[in-house]
Amino acid sequence: MDKELQKGAILILSGPSGCGKSSLLKKFYENFSNYYFSISTTTRAPRIGEQHGVDYFFVTKEEFEEDIKNDNFLEYAKVHDNYYGTSLKPIKEALILGKLVIFDIDVQGHDLVREKLDSITTSVFITTPSLKELENRLYKRDTDHPEIIENRLKNAKIEIHSLDKYDYLILNDDLELASKQLISIGNVALIKSSLFNKDSIIKIWLGEN
Ligand code: 5GP
């Protein structure tokens, strides 16, 4: 569709670390081309295997606070004692190109994006079928110190209460099924009627061009 006629859309994914978001997104990317993944900026230390500019932009607290001062973030939040934020500029560019812009952000970030860009936003809360399953996955993954895992579980217990703020819920038990659900949501997010330039569409539809 002509870029003048349709804007891009935002798809927010939230859910606890360990719920399988990364595996789901991998499957999603194999089946979806017109997307842009928003790489967040964070002050947390990289995990083993994580790369600067791929997983996150890893910065110092001072650098992050400078970006806050310069109004560079669409939203930012403190999660597990670290800052996480979404830079505005690349998002704007991707939206102009009509892309599906994917955010992996927490509940606080979700609420802030909804406040600013509700009409183009679709959101999905992803979690494991139970807290016990999340705990098992986090300990099995073995990428974090037990203290950090306990902190993540504590946060997950709080975040689950926000699931009704989201348009969709995926209980990620079966990766195949969950990835099909996510792909369906991505497709639907891009045909929200509010993304279309109504006046131009009607003119064309009436044959007035
Ligand atoms: P992790 O440290 O496991 O990568 O992420 C911790 C939490 O921070 C996750 O819930 C993730 O969705 C959230 N997060 C990552 N990037 C952002 C961001 O840019 N903004 C907000 N608000 N949350 C984020």
pLDDT of 48 reads 85
Q: Which residues pair with 87 in a beta bridge?
A: 73
Mean pLDDT for the stretch of residues 121-136: 96
pLDDT of 142 reads 76
Gap from CA of 182 to ligand 1 centroid (Å): 19
Q: Residues 34-81: pLDDT tens digits?
A: 999 999 999 999 988 999 999 999 999 999 999 999 999 999 999 878
Mean pLDDT for the stretch of residues 11-29: 94
pLDDT of 79 reads 85
pLDDT of 3 reads 67
Instruction: Collect all residues with Cβ–Cβ distance below 8 Å to 150 and sequence separation of at least 6.
Output: none
| Third-level CATH fold of 7-38+99-206 | Rossmann fold (3.40.50)
Q: Residues 145-204: pLDDT tens digits?
A: 899 899 889 999 999 999 999 999 999 999 999 999 999 999 999 999 999 999 999 999
Q: CA separation (Å) from 191 to 12, 22, 26, 122, 187?
A: 16, 25, 22, 11, 7
Could you state, in order of their start, the residue ranges of all structural domains in the chain?
Answer: 7-38+99-206
Confidence category of residue 4, pLDDT binned at 50, 70, 90: confident
Gap from CA of 6 to ligand 1 centroid (Å): 29
Mean pLDDT for the stretch of residues 94-108: 95
Pocket test for ligand 1, best of 22, 37, 44, 106 (most atoms within 8 A of CB): 106
Question: What are the residue ranges of helices labelled H in 60-104?
Answer: 61-69, 88-96
Nearest protein CA to atom 14 of ligand 1, as residue: 105
- CA separation for the pair 123, 168 (Å, rounded): 6
Q: How many helices (H) and strands (E) does the chain have?
A: 8, 9
CB atoms within 10 A of CB 61: 10
- Is the pLDDT at 205 greater than 90, yes or no? yes
The ligand 1 site (C-beta within 6 Å) comprises: 14, 17, 40, 44, 75, 77, 79, 84-86, 104-106, 108-109
Instruction: Collect all residues with Cβ–Cβ distance below 8 Å to 122 and sequence separation of at least 6.
Output: 9, 10, 11, 12, 167, 168, 185, 188, 189, 192
Gap from CA of 79 to ligand 1 centroid (Å): 7
Nearest protein CA to atom 19 of ligand 1, as residue: 85
